[in-house]
Amino acid sequence: MTDSKYFTTNKKGEIFELKAELNNEKKEKRKEAVKKVIAAMTVGKDVSSLFPDVVNCMQTDNLELKKLVYLYLMNYAKNQPDMAIMAVNSFVKDCEDPNPLIRALAVRTMGCIRVDKITEYLCEPLRKCLKDEDPYVRKTAAVCVAKLHDINAQMVEDQGFLDSLRDLIADSNPMVVANAVAALSEISESHPNSNLLDLNPQNINKLLTALNECTEWGQIFILDCLSNYNPKDEREAQSICERVTPRLSHANSAVVLSAVKVLMKFLELLPKDSDYYNTLLKKLSPPLVTLLSGEPEVQYVALRNINLIVQKRPEILKQEIKVFFVKYNDPIYVKLEKLDIMIRLASQANIAQVLAELKEYATEVDVDFVRKAVRAIGRCAIKVEQSAERCVSTLLDLIQTKVNYVVQEAIVVIRDIFRKYPNKYESIIATLCENLDSLDEPDARAAMIWIVGEYAERIDNADELLESFLEGFHDESTQVQLTLLTAIVKLFLKKPSETQELVQQVLSLATQDSDNPDLRDRGYIYWRLLSTDPVTAKEVVLSEKPLISEETDLIEPTLLDELICHIGSLASVYHKPPNAFVEGSHGIHRKHLPVQHSSIDTGESPVSSGPAANIEQTHVIPSQGDLLGDLLNLDLGPRSTCPRCPPCRWGLWTLTVLIACNSVLLLQVWLPAVKAKGLEISGTFTRRQGQMYMDMTFTNKALQHMTDFAVQFNKNSFGVIPTSPLPVHTPLMPNQNIELSLPLNTIGPVMKMDPLNNLQVAVKNNIDVFYFSVLIPLNIFFVEDGKMERQVFLATWKDIPNENELQYQIKECHLNAENHKKVKISV
Amino acid sequence: MIGGLFIYNHKGEVLISRVYRDDIGYVAQRSFMVTSCIKPATLFNVNLFVCRRNAVDAFRVNVIHARQQVRSPVTNIARTSFFHVKRSNIWLAAVTKQNVNAAMVFEFLYKMCDVMTAYFGKISEENIKNNFVLIYELLDEILDFGYPQNSETGALKTFITQQGIKGQTKEEQSQITSQVTGQIGWRREGIKYRRNELFLDVLESVNLLMSPQGQVLSAHVSGRVVMKSYLSGMPECKFGMNDKIVIDKQGKGGDLYAFCCSGKQSIAIDDCTFHQCVRLSKFDSERSISFIPPDGEYELMRYRTTKDIILPFRVIPLVREVGRTKLEVKVVIKSNFKPSLLAQKIEVRIPTPLNTSGVQVICMKGKAKYKASENAIVWKIKRMAGMKESQISAEIELLPTNDKKKWARPPISMNFEVPFAPSGLKVRYLKVFESKLNYSDHDVIKWVRYIGRSGIYETRC
């Protein structure tokens, strides 16, 4: 006899028939009927109307039937709370049953019935079950507290269940301990500040003892809980590590990963030069490799975590690159992750092997994978200089295959290689140009155009090539349009005689026929630049480009540290902090890596990291000899007093931003993203039309959006304060930046700083408060018209007490019209 | 923790649905409404039940029925995470809205498959429908509020029987509960056999990736020691093998065996993992493997080696393109082990291009056939002794195509089975102690078998 027949029932009058059967006198018939009801429930039919009839079947000594009825109750009790009360009595009775299995079943099921009225009746039986003599009942009751907390948190606290749960941590049975830990961990997630788990050395010891004895799942709960503990010193950290290390040989990959999490966290506390630190690092690598021989899904989880571990501590797996070589029948998600890690581990020592592998991958079937492999070859060239030549020739081979997407991807990476090694591989340009027609993706087209523009002087028919792109100018994507505009301007500056017509054409296309403000602005800037001063134009447009970084897709360090605390969990799979995908109270509490040599746990409170960052913050002075600054003759240095018309300066400033594309050279980075959870602030001070401004660019390098910005200055020597709040009104999305200028005046409270022009700034957003300090260049305090009436000047001079006067002989200084200026500094 | 667990057939119909937490479903509903149409009748019925069904449906629409190949075993749909594994035609999906331990969820799903297989055999739609009451009962027991509980079949079978547990005495009941929650949750007490017997299988799969020039790109052995134990009482076992670390340590102490097999005979194990019955702290400190085994069959340990692997076969490919419409392929295989041993079930798979129109094969030994549906020439040899050589040559006719894409040339793969362990692992002893019952280590009949199989054994051509 099989159960599958229950799935096939005749449609007509089904519910009615079931009702009759449920009230049948024969026990067997009733059992059959309940099975049919459960089958109907599973496939999604609404059988809630049978509630009273099913509940009637509850009074039975047949455990199987009882379990089925309970299953039905769990599903429908919420819809019929009044009816559910009918079941309470038999639950309470079952909680007193001599059979521990039935006691546990009753308390387990009662917790699953999420009806407020029932929970009141649950308290007494639960209290008894928490102190039951049978461990099976106790471990079930422990989980039941978590269930009850989910329904009615207040009741759990009022009834003192949390204390009972804490008592269970000292239980003699390891499984009771494990479930109590699991329940407490979950409850404490919604109370981030209460010290519910009360992790003290004594409790930790109990947990470590239970660790050796409980089931694999229990070990996971305990290890996950241990990872939240902050050992008070390195000795304690080491002794915990020693007792956790054996778990690395467990067959269950989740136990292994959770143990890795504990070890990775506590490694932070161990002195780097100790023997133990190094042996521990060595012990971490084999289990991580072993995870890759598991089932593909676990491999995927492991690889996502290894990706984090490789970024945090590359030394662990640097010898193991071979295990990340892709197998032909790996699932695609495993292949892509392995490739990612291969690029990260590539070094001069293994580059030959890696390159041979990547070449194989580039001939595979899956388009995404092939593209990534081609991209990886380019990354290798940029990362390991010695391999660049081989990489380029490999890429050329790939271009010869003429497979469309391979060619396009290859051209994009070759552009990056040109950026990294200028004037080295131009010989291949001819081959690239052959493939011009087959490029249909914006990335590839833009890359090709960039190459043609950059090396216009060596390509005989550069003008023809670029002209061919110009035909469908308005159908191109913005990225291609912008690159094309710049490329043609470059071409014109290099070969002015033949290309005048072309440049005029593109400028008019960009400025007159386009709706895109970026494109129009850039067009106008070039136009004016070219028409006013071609020499400067040449210096600006053909200036040296900043270096490109060797590593890509690196996770921002603060996020990485947070993710290391979440090894094994979903956060580490998504590479996102939990609050990015978890709703409600769970997971909002952010985790931090422990900090070495600190008596108080600075790791736990995010605010305390603020002042630390403040101390480390280097005092930066805007540099005077900046390449582009000089080039554009901008007044950056404090001595220069040349008044310039502000709009002009603003325009040029925009220009440099546009040309330098990904780096704003004029601005100093005041607050690096590393120190401010992904917020980068760069800025400078200027004076325009008699008003001081702090020009800043906020860049969001984190993965979440930022809102609620505010700024505040500490008391300073000049009483500088902002005159208006920060003009940021919209949330700052990830990877976006915003330019703003904050008007300042000097009417605030005064306090002498050292150095004198030091200014301490606090910026706040929805994430945290960040502190940094900057030096205000003195020249922004100077008024444009430095003139003073003779009398006034003398009077002012006299007002300054003698001890404030310093004599200094200026040699060989030709004074002409420049006025002596003096700033009165109140000290 | 896990919010719910669903089992689907290949059409995406729900066979089993068990919801542990209310949070799943509410949001999945939104994504579902967009992607699929809901009957108006159910729209009014916005109760919990409907919400749950929508978590179910969201997974069907977005994963099972997705046009594209599955790009990840974890899918996030409207802030709800779906973990899935597939067994033949059946999808198992765990659903959650929290930041759960992802590795644990997958391990649990595997375990769930093991438990189901142990109860009713192959996981198929029919078997699941036939046993749905049992599955619900199991799910109730092994997953409580989304927390995995004891899921060892040995323990579960003592009280989840489908026959009810009416007849048990009080002692039996407390024995069950103490076993389920106890330290040795994988074995029940009071097992008796007339004949105490155990079987040890050392099963290895040897993996190889070789370049066309015969250079080993990567090679490793992943091995398993599977034990079938039919022992009475609660026996304490100790397992020993020719682990280099142990041998080197004992060699100094004057152990005779260690002395005999020191040097080449021992193997360096990169890493190993153990069944939860093994005392890990003891292994960590003394490197000795001691345990109380579960009853019946289970996997004692897994290990991995990369050094001094005996590669049982060497494949030498030669592919020559003759013009645009013809390929000449010659493949030589050499067996590389003792001549007295026999390899079995040898199969060499030589991939052919998609535009193959005809193939002529000549082989000296075994049978070779071109299988158009698999795009490969399959060459099978029943048996082959060690230190032998065999060869196949084939001419492949190609249809002219204007496909620009070059043929990817997948590697030549090979399957075989050999009666030794390619890693060189040897079982030294398995001692059984049971102090309470009157049998000793000598009375136990022990069987040891070594099987080396090909894992992914590929040579690029």
Number of Cβ atoms within 10 Å of the Cβ of A133:
8
pLDDT > 50? residue A200: yes
Identify the weakest region by mean pLDDT among A344-348, A742-746, B395-399: A742-746
**pLDDT averaged over chain A?**
80
The answer to whether B74 contacts A256, with C-beta atoms less than 8 Å apart, is no
Q: What is the ipTM, given to two decimal places?
A: 0.80
How distant is the Cα of A63 from the closest Cα of chain B, in angstroms?
A: 6
How distant is the Cα of B181 from the closest Cα of chain A, in angstroms?
A: 6
Confidence grade of residue A329 (pLDDT, cut at 50, 70, 90): confident
pLDDT tens sequence across A244-261 = 999 999 999 999 999 999
CA distance B124 to B8: 10
- Provide mean pLDDT across the span A661-671: 57
Number of residues assigned to chain A: 827
Closest B-chain CA to A114: B22
The answer to whether A329 contacts B149, with C-beta atoms less than 8 Å apart, is no
The answer to whether B104 contacts A71, with C-beta atoms less than 8 Å apart, is no
Beta carbons of B295 and B154 less than 8 angstroms apart = yes
pLDDT > 50? residue A750: yes
Confidence grade of residue A666 (pLDDT, cut at 50, 70, 90): low
Nearest to A566 among B56, B85, B99 (CB): B99
pLDDT tens sequence across B345-392 = 999 999 998 888 999 999 889 999 999 988 899 999 999 999 999 999
Alpha helix (H) ranges present in A673-716?
A: none
Beta carbons of A218 and A230 less than 8 angstroms apart = no
How distant is the Cα of A317 from the closest Cα of chain B, in angstroms?
A: 14
In degrees and rounded to multiples of 5, residue A127 shows phi and psi of -60, -40
Query: Quick check: helix, strand or coil at residue A759?
Result: strand
How distant is the Cα of B286 from the closest Cα of chain A, in angstroms?
A: 11
**pLDDT averaged over chain B?**
84
| Chain A contact set for B14 (CB, 8 A) | 42-44
pLDDT above 70 as % of chain A: 85
Measure CA of the first residue to CA of the last residue in chain A; give whole Å. Answer: 98
Mean pLDDT is highest, among A208-217, A601-610, A723-732, B173-182, for A208-217
Residue owning tokens 């050796």: A212
Pick the more confident residue, A277 or A423. Answer: A277
How distant is the Cα of B194 from the closest Cα of chain A, in angstroms?
A: 30
Beta carbons of A248 and A281 less than 8 angstroms apart = no
pLDDT > 60? residue B49: no
Q: What is the 3-state secondary structure (H, E, C) of A50-100?
A: HHHHHHHCCCCCCHHHHHHHHHHHHHHCCCCHHHHHHHHHHHHHHCCCCCH
Beta carbons of A659 and A651 less than 8 angstroms apart = no
| Chain A contact set for B71 (CB, 8 A) | 332-333
CA distance B137 to B353: 51
Confidence grade of residue B196 (pLDDT, cut at 50, 70, 90): very high
Contacts of A312 (CB under 8 A, 6+ apart): A264, A560, A561, A564
| Chain A contact set for B110 (CB, 8 A) | 295, 298
Beta carbons of B158 and B188 less than 8 angstroms apart = yes
pLDDT > 70? residue A819: no
Size of interface A-B (CB pairs under 8 A): 304
Tokens read off for B188: 């029940």
Task: Report which of A73, A1, A2, A83 is spatially closest to residue A34, judged by C-alpha positions.
Answer: A73
Closest A-chain CA to B83: A297
| Chain B contact set for A108 (CB, 8 A) | 140, 144
Contacts of A699 (CB under 8 A, 6+ apart): A673, A679, A680, A681, A682, A736, A737
The answer to whether B406 contacts A363, with C-beta atoms less than 8 Å apart, is yes
Helices A296-312 and A332-345 sit at what angle, rounded to 10 degrees? Answer: 20
pLDDT tens sequence across A567-602 = 999 999 999 998 888 876 554 567 788 776 544 343
pLDDT at B413: 93
pLDDT at A230: 87
CA distance A770 to A609: 9
pLDDT tens sequence across A370-416 = 999 999 999 899 888 888 998 998 899 888 888 889 999 999 999 98
Number of Cβ atoms within 10 Å of the Cβ of B64:
18
The answer to whether A3 contacts B133, with C-beta atoms less than 8 Å apart, is yes
The answer to whether B17 contacts A176, with C-beta atoms less than 8 Å apart, is no
The answer to whether B284 contacts A249, with C-beta atoms less than 8 Å apart, is yes
CA distance A663 to A627: 13
CA distance A743 to A595: 39
Cβ contacts of B383-386, under 8 Å, gap ≥ 24: B383/B342, B383/B343, B383/B344, B383/B346, B384/B335, B384/B342, B384/B343, B384/B346, B385/B335, B385/B339, B385/B340, B385/B341, B385/B342, B385/B343, B386/B335, B386/B336, B386/B337, B386/B338, B386/B339, B386/B340, B386/B341, B386/B342, B386/B343
Identify the weakest region by mean pLDDT among A328-332, A557-561, A795-799, A820-824: A820-824
pLDDT at B292: 92
Q: Is B426 annotated as a binding residue?
A: no
How distant is the Cα of A663 from the closest Cα of chain B, in angstroms?
A: 35
Tokens read off for B406: 């070059």
The answer to whether A135 contacts B185, with C-beta atoms less than 8 Å apart, is no
Q: Output the CA–CA distances (angstroms, integers) from residue A12 to A15, A17, A38, A174, in the order listed.
A: 8, 9, 18, 53
Q: Is B334 annotated as a binding residue?
A: no
pLDDT > 50? residue A611: no
Beta carbons of A48 and A82 less than 8 angstroms apart = no
Confidence grade of residue B406 (pLDDT, cut at 50, 70, 90): low
CA distance A132 to A104: 10
pLDDT at A785: 67
Mutate to test the interface with A, among B9, B18, B85, B271 (most CBs of A within 10 A): B271
- Provide mean pLDDT across the span A209-237: 90
Confidence grade of residue B311 (pLDDT, cut at 50, 70, 90): very high
In degrees and rounded to multiples of 5, residue A633 shows phi and psi of 55, 45
pLDDT tens sequence across B379-403 = 999 999 999 999 999 999 988 877 6
Residue owning tokens 């007509």: A12
| DSSP code per residue over B244-282 | HHHHHHHHHHT-HHHHHT-GGGSB--SEEEE-TTB-HHH
pLDDT above 90 as % of chain B: 46
CA distance B352 to B332: 17
- Provide mean pLDDT across the span B124-139: 89
Task: Report which of B150, B112, B154, B452 is spatially closest to residue B297, judged by C-alpha positions.
Answer: B154
pLDDT > 60? residue A825: no
The answer to whether B20 contacts A112, with C-beta atoms less than 8 Å apart, is yes
pLDDT at A265: 93
Nearest to A250 among B173, B270, B276 (CB): B276
The answer to whether A583 contacts B13, with C-beta atoms less than 8 Å apart, is no
CA distance A21 to A26: 9
pLDDT tens sequence across A146-175 = 999 888 888 888 888 988 988 898 888 889
| Chain B contact set for A146 (CB, 8 A) | 145
| Per-residue DSSP letter, A823 | -
Nearest to A297 among B73, B149, B209 (CB): B73
pLDDT at A192: 65
pLDDT > 50? residue A767: yes
How distant is the Cα of B182 from the closest Cα of chain A, in angstroms?
A: 7
Task: Report which of A257, A275, A263 is spatially closest to residue A220, judged by C-alpha positions.
Answer: A257
Q: Which phi-psi region, left, alpha or beta, contains residue A592 (left: φ > 0; alpha: ψ -120 to 50)?
A: beta
Tokens read off for B239: 């397992």
Closest A-chain CA to B275: A251
pLDDT at A473: 87
Mutate to test the interface with A, among B181, B286, B306 (most CBs of A within 10 A): B181
Residue A501's H or E segment, with its range, is: helix A496-511
Pick the more confident residue, A24 or A323. Answer: A323
Torsion of CA B26, B31, B32, B38, to 10 degrees: 90
pLDDT at A296: 94
pLDDT at B391: 93
- Provide mean pLDDT across the span A443-459: 89
Confidence grade of residue A291 (pLDDT, cut at 50, 70, 90): very high
The answer to whether B270 contacts A221, with C-beta atoms less than 8 Å apart, is no
pLDDT at A701: 79
Confidence grade of residue B74 (pLDDT, cut at 50, 70, 90): very high
pLDDT > 60? residue B342: yes
Task: Report which of B153, B158, B126 is spatially closest to residue B142, judged by C-alpha positions.
Answer: B153
Mean pLDDT is highest, among A110-114, A654-658, A814-818, for A110-114
Q: What is the pTM of this model?
A: 0.74
pLDDT > 70? residue A189: yes
Identify the weakest region by mean pLDDT among A211-225, A476-490, A750-764, B314-328: A750-764
How distant is the Cα of B231 from the closest Cα of chain A, in angstroms?
A: 22
CA distance B232 to B195: 9
CA distance B328 to B350: 12
Residue owning tokens 């080197």: B248
pLDDT at A22: 83
Helices and strands (DSSP H and E) totals, chain A: 35, 8
pLDDT > 90? residue B148: yes
pLDDT at B13: 85
Q: Is B382 annotated as a binding residue?
A: yes
Tokens read off for A361: 């991958």
Residue owning tokens 């009810």: B164
pLDDT at A461: 85
Identify the weakest region by mean pLDDT among A72-81, A135-144, A434-443, B264-273: A72-81
Task: Report which of B98, B183, B186, B110 is spatially closest to residue B146, judged by C-alpha positions.
Answer: B98
Beta carbons of B360 and B310 less than 8 angstroms apart = no
Confidence grade of residue B417 (pLDDT, cut at 50, 70, 90): very high
Cis status of the peptide bond prior to A755, with omega within 30 of 0: yes
Closest A-chain CA to B158: A101
Alpha helix (H) ranges present in B254-384?
A: 256-260, 280-286
CA distance B336 to B387: 5
